[in-house]
Every structure is written in C-alpha cells, then in structure tokens.
Structure 1
Amino acid sequence: MIIKDYRLGLAIVFILILASISLLVFKGIPKSIDITGGAEITIKVKDPNIFYSLKSYLSGLAEVKELKSSSGYYIVVRCSYDKVEIVKKKLKEFFKVESLSSLNYSEKTVGPILSSRFFEEGFKALAFAFIFMSLVVYFYFRDPYPSGAIILSALTDIILTLGAMSLFNIELSTATIAALLMIIGYSVDSDILLTTKVLRRLSVKFDESVKEAFETGITMTLTTIAAMVTLLIVVKLFIPIADILANIAEVLVIALVADIISTWILNVSLLKLYLEKIKKVI
C-alpha cells in the first residue's frame, strides 16, 4: 500500500484534480487541425536555416515547426482553414516555385464542418465508453460504493491526463481522443483487480490484499509504460513525421502514470474508508 492514511491519500488526489481542472479552465488544451479545421503542410528541405526565415516570413499567418530525423529535415506549416490559400501563396513566393507540387511536400486539410464533426463524434464515443463502463462495473460488483470508487478513479485518471496535456501542450486530436478511450479500459482493469482482491478476501488483512494486488497491477502498468516510452523514443528519433503515433504514446504514458495515482492512492483510500467506516470490518 502506497499511503497508509486514507485521508492523506484523498487530500493528495484532491489537490492534483484541482490543479488539473485549473489548468483546463485557465490554460486550456491546444487543439489539432482535426478538431479546429485547417491545413498542415509538411515540406522536406535540405537547408535547416530555411526554418527561421520561413517562420519569420509566415509570422501571424501560420505556425511553423521543424522536425529532424534520420530520413531528413522537415518543416511543418499549420494554419487555420480561412488562411490556407494565403499561406500556400506565401509558400510559393518563399520557395520561388510555380506550384507546391514541385516541392517534396505533403498536405493535410480538414474543413471546419468535418473537424467539428470529428470532435462531436469523438466526445460522444468517450461519453458512451465511460457510461457503458460504469454500468458494467456496477452490475459486476452490485454495490454502489466500490463501483462508485472505480468509476471515480477512472474519471480522475482522465482529468489528470487532460490536465497534463494542458501543462505539456499536447494537442487534443482524434488520435489523443482514441488514446483516452484506450485508457478508460486500462484504468478500470487495474481498479477491478484491486477491488476484487480486497473484497473477496476480507479474512485477509487489508494491507496484505492491497500489496498482492499492487505487485500484479504495477508490473502490468510499468511494462506498458516501458513499451509506450520505447515507441515514443523510436518515433521521435527515426520517424518524427509520424506525430499521430507520438501523440498516442505521450498520452498513454501520462495516463498510465495517472492511473498509478488514481488506483493505488485514490481507490485504495476509498476502499479503506469503505471497509473501516461503513462495513466496519477493519
């Protein structure tokens, strides 16, 4: 058991939730063009110094980023949908070409209607997954308190992850929404492991049951974190242009760390409170 005093555990998680909500309210989460609409133009160039010149040239019109990998040097230009044609014209002028097709480039454009549709459907999928998960958990345990603790832990995992995305400027996109969907299942998995181990072995000391569940759960979590960190490193070093994979890996790593907090601090504290104050079995 990570924290012996459930009051301390609840206080720590409450502070983290409050900090995450504050970040979401006052700072917000950056959104990708999948959500806001717009264009993303990726150009492979030979001279890295072009980046600074182009960034200055497109100042106020577009966001310009650089990507380096073993396959070459890339410049990524992002702009809102209403500025796509202006930015394309500026790029032609900058590179002194008649058409962008003469450059080694790729383009991704998402209209405002389609992007809003993406966001709506992604939000609906997230809400449906959470509601369905809540029903399954409740019917499995048939007890509102431990079921509520699991649901609250999963919700905390999502809130902490969104707060970290805001803090580290990780974009909300269709890819990161998919990662959040994945983490709902994973978070509930570790919570069910803990709750089942504790409630079905009331004859065993609470701390011993938690310790056994922790040894199994943390091994699973750390293994998955290691796999996601490896994926993130490979993408960043060798295929930085595959930002979708990088975003998914980043969100999953953050969410898995948040899951350690929500499961092994929050849920353990709630279970101890339940068994000590309500069931009076410890």
Structure 2
Amino acid sequence: MLEKMMENHKILIAIPIILALLSLVLIGFNGLEQGVDLKGGSQAELQLLGSVTPSELEDTLDAKLNTNNIKVTNNGNNKVTVELENNINSSTFTSAINGKAKVISYNEIGPILSEEAMGQIYIAMIFAFLFMAITVFIVFREPVPSVAIILAALCDILIALGGMSIFKIPLSIASVGALLMLIGYSVDTDILLTTRLLKRREGTVEGRAKNAMYTGLTMSFAAIAAMGILYVVTKILMPEATTLSNISAVLVIGLIGDILSTWLMNLGILKTYIDWRQSKKQEKYNVGSSSSKSKSSKSDEGKSKLSFKDKLKRKTEVEDDEVMTKIQEELDKIDNMDESSDNIPKSEKSSNKKSNKKQKNKGNKRKAKKQKGKGGK
C-alpha cells in the first residue's frame, strides 16, 4: 500500500487540499453556529419542576418571549440549560417560565464581551500559527518542509470547521480550545514524519516513511479512540457536559483530517522535495565528473605528446649513432689503405690522401653538428 502511495504521491497531495476547499464552501453556504459566549445572549440553568419535559419548557418560552433560536439542552436529573439569542433580563425570564422550573443560574452576555472574545480567539489562532512556523523553520532550516507542516495544520483546522458546520457543533470558547489542541496534534505527527525523512539517513526513503507511518498512525488512532469514548460517555451518561462532548467531537473530526493531511499531502510534498534535491545533487555530480574527465584527457594528451617527443629524440639519436658507426668503418678502411700505400705510386697516394682528407673533414663536421645539437637541447 505504501509503495503505491509513494508512486502516486503527487496525485495524493490534492486530496486534503480539495477537502479543505470543500469545507470552506460548506462554511460559506451552511454557516457556522456560534455559542452564546461568542455571539452574545442569555444563558440559564434550570431545575424542572414536576413532570415538565424540556420540549414543553421550550414551547412555553417560545410563546411568552419575543426572541429567536431558543435552545434547551437536557442535562439529566431534571436539569436543563436554556440559551437565548437575545439579552433578556432575569425578571422577565423568571415570569416566562411560569413556575415550571427553578432558576439555578442566569447569565447575560452583551455584544461587547462577545466581540472581545472573538478578538481574543483570532489573536490566539494567529499567534499559534506564527510561533509554530518559527519553531518549525528553526528546527529544519528549510522552507519547503516548514511550509508543508503549516499547510497540513491549516487543512486540519478547515476540515474540523467543516465538520462542525455539518454536525451543528457551535463555535465556542471550548471548541476553539479544541482547535488549538488540534494544531498541536497536527504539528506532532508532521514533525515526526519530516524528522524521519530528512534528518535520518539509514535505509531508503520508503522504509523511513513506513516506520514513521506506523508510529504516527498509532498515536492518531489512540487519540481518536480516547476522544470517541469521551464523546459517547458524555452523550449517554453525562448529557449536561456539553463542553466535553463538543471538544471530543471537534478533536475526532480534526484527527481524521490530520491523518489525510499528514500521510497524503505532507508525505507527498516531502517525497517530491527529496526527489528534487537528489536530482540536483546528481546534476552537480555529473558536471563535476565531466570536468574531471576533460582534465584527465588533457593530461593524457600532454603525456602522449611528451612521449612522442621522447620517441622522436631517441629515433634521431639512434640514426646519428648508425651514421657515426658507418663513418668510423670508412675511416678504418682508409687507415688500412694507408698501411698498404707503400706499394702504390705517388700520384695515386696523393689522390688517396686528398680523398681521405675530405672524408675526415666530413666526419669532423658531422661530429661538431651533433655536439651542437646536444648542447642546444
């Protein structure tokens, strides 16, 4: 399976990006529900009296209060939480319930407080991504892996927000905390993968990715199982703990998105980056080897030229030796002729002497030329 993923890594990069874009479109059309602590309004915790049900209480409040989006949540043990979109004072609300429930707590959140909370959330998200980017860049000192890790975390957040829009999970201070936790989970698995692929050198890229996947998926599935159990327990046994159920639901959706963004997109980006870096090294190696080969060929040509000169020099020396040997033989013949010159007439002697002098002069000239040539060399 991993081998096929590594072969098609460029195609797999697009899957988490498409999911993140679809989440943006879904949020734009479907909207994202906000909790009372962010959008403002009233929130009350009530103890139901007698046999009143949460649905009956909701109908009563809807009829007597001029407000929209009344939400009644059953907390168990005849306790409910009522959220109102508008700010209504406590006396008006108490008269509206008409003795069907007892008010345990009542809070009004104005628009100023809600705007301030949203501003703090934006600042928290911006600083989380900023410090994450700085930390990742300091660790790896390479822009491509750093951008890949940040992009994976951003896809996780968008996928989680899209899931919140589908399942009507309100955006509240608690769910924002879950999103911040999700950034930590995402960076953890992404740094694990990046460290295994770029920092370690043993084995192949596929082998290191396989080991990182085993470790990362074990961490992710363990976290998904823990958050899933928390969600089931809070929904069945503790329905009043809506904060815990919202946090666990957001984390389950985000961790599923993190598996896709880490092991499809981030792994694909890193594999492409490693292949590009290896190709650059191979090009440099090829250029260096070609230049060294040209230098060696030039040195071989120089050696061949030098050897040719040496051969020519040796050849001329051998030829000169042969010529001098012949001259010496001729001189020996002339000496033998001088010894027998007593039986030759004077006229012949004089002619022989002249010829002998000419041959000696020629031999002396050749010796002088040879000595000059050796001295010049």
Tell me if TM exceeds 0.5. Answer: yes
AA matched with 2:52: D
Deviations 1:111-168 (A, max 9, x none): 2111111110111011101100100000100011111111111111111111211122
Q: Tell me which residue corresponds to 1:106.
A: 105
Q: Tell me which residue corresponds to 2:56.
A: 50
Tell me the distance in 2 between the aligned counterparts of 1:153 and 1:135. Answer: 15
CA contact (8 A) 2:70 2:82 kept: yes
CA contact (8 A) 2:14 2:265 kept: no
Using the TM superposition, give the Cα deviation of residue 67 of structure 1 relative to its aligned residue in structure 2, in angstroms.
3.6
Q: Tell me which residue corresponds to 1:3.
A: 5
- Find the partner of 1:74 among 77, 80, 85: 80
- 1:124 and 2:130 aligned: no
CA contact (8 A) 2:235 2:245 kept: yes
SS for the counterpart of 1:103 is strand
CA contact (8 A) 2:43 2:107 kept: yes
Return the TM-score normalized by structure 2: 0.67
Q: Tell me which residue corresponds to 1:16.
A: 19
| Cα distance change of structure 1 residues 261 and 53 upon mapping to structure 2, 3 Å threshold | same
AA matched with 1:71: N
Using the TM superposition, give the Cα deviation of residue 263 of structure 1 relative to its aligned residue in structure 2, in angstroms.
0.6
CA contact (8 A) 1:66 1:73 kept: no
AA matched with 1:188: V
| Cα distance change of structure 1 residues 146 and 225 upon mapping to structure 2, 3 Å threshold | same
CA contact (8 A) 1:43 1:106 kept: yes
AA matched with 1:39: S
Tell me the distance in 2 between the aligned counterparts of 1:96 and 1:73. Answer: 14
Moved more, 44-53 or 165-174: 44-53
AA matched with 2:224: I
CA contact (8 A) 2:73 2:80 kept: yes
- 1:148 and 2:151 aligned: no
CA contact (8 A) 2:10 2:269 kept: no
Q: Tell me which residue corresponds to 1:254.
A: 253
Tell me the distance in 2 between the aligned counterparts of 1:184 and 1:23. Answer: 21
Using the TM superposition, give the Cα deviation of residue 104 of structure 1 relative to its aligned residue in structure 2, in angstroms.
4.5
Using the TM superposition, give the Cα deviation of residue 77 of structure 1 relative to its aligned residue in structure 2, in angstroms.
3.5
Return the TM-score normalized by structure 1: 0.88
Tell me the distance in 2 between the aligned counterparts of 1:261 and 1:182. Answer: 17
Using the TM superposition, give the Cα deviation of residue 190 of structure 1 relative to its aligned residue in structure 2, in angstroms.
0.4
AA matched with 1:236: K
Tell me the distance in 1 between the aligned counterparts of 2:227 and 2:259. Answer: 15
Deviations 1:71-126 (A, max 9, x none): 33525242223xx13x86265244248xxxx7143323212111111110111011
Q: Considering only CA atoms, is the larger Rg found in Structure 1 or Structure 2? A: 2
Tell me the distance in 2 between the aligned counterparts of 1:181 and 1:231. Answer: 18
Q: Tell me which residue corresponds to 1:241.
A: 240
Tell me the distance in 2 between the aligned counterparts of 1:189 and 1:279. Answer: 26
Q: Tell me which residue corresponds to 1:64.
A: 70
CA contact (8 A) 1:71 1:238 kept: no
CA contact (8 A) 2:33 2:169 kept: yes
AA matched with 1:161: A
CA contact (8 A) 1:36 1:116 kept: yes
SS for the counterpart of 2:5 is coil
Tell me the distance in 2 between the aligned counterparts of 1:3 and 1:153. Answer: 17
Q: Which runs of 5+ in 2 are unaligned?
A: 283-377
Tell me the distance in 1 between the aligned counterparts of 2:179 and 2:58. Answer: 35
